[in-house]
Amino acid sequence: MIAVDTNVVVRYLVNDHPAQLAWARRLLDESDVWVPLTVLLETEWVLRSAYRHASVEATAALRAFVGLPRVALEHAARVAAALGLTERGMDFADAPHLAASEQCEAFPRSTLRLSGRRASGAAG
C-alpha cells in the first residue's frame, strides 16, 4: 500500500495538468493507496481556495474519490460522517472533529444545529 499526499488527490480530481493527471490515475488504478484524514482536509481546502470550487462541489469530489476501489482511509467511518455533516451545511474543516466526538453528550451551540445533540453552556 502506498500513502498519497494532497498533490496526488488534487491532480486526480482537478485535471489541470495532463501529465500529472495521467500519473495520478495510473497510481490509483494500479496500487492500493492510503489517504490520511489530514490529506482530505487539505484537499478540500485546496479545491475551495485555489480552484474556487463551491463547498458542495468539493464535498462531491471528495465523496467520489474516497469511494474509489483502491482507496483506503484513515478513520473511514469518521470521514463518511464528516462528509455527511458537510453535505448538511457544516464546514469540512470542523466536521471531522464533530464526527470524532460521538461519545460526547454536549457541543457548543455553533455545532448543535447540525449535530442533533444538546448544546453545552458554551457560546458559539
pLDDT in 10s for each residue of the chain, 124 residues: 999 999 999 999 998 888 999 999 999 999 999 999 999 999 999 999 999 999 999 999 999 999 999 999 999 999 998 899 889 888 888 888 888 876 665 556 555 555 555 444 444 4
46 closest CA partner among 32, 62, 34, 33:
62
Domain ranges of the chain: 2-74
Sheet holding 2-3, edge to edge: 2-3, 33-35, 71-73
Q: Residue 106: what pLDDT?
A: 52
Cβ burial, residue 69 (10 Å; 0-12/13-18/19+): exposed
Q: Residue 12: what pLDDT?
A: 94
61 closest CA partner among 40, 75, 77:
40
Copy the grid coordinates of residue 29: 488504478
Distance (Å, whole) CA 25 – CA 21: 6
- Report DSSP state, residue 94: T
20 closest CA partner among 29, 31, 7:
7
Q: At what angle do helices 6-14 and 55-66 cross, to 10 degrees?
A: 110
Q: Beta strand 71-73 with 33-35: parallel, antiparallel or unpaired?
A: parallel
Q: Residue 94: what pLDDT?
A: 82
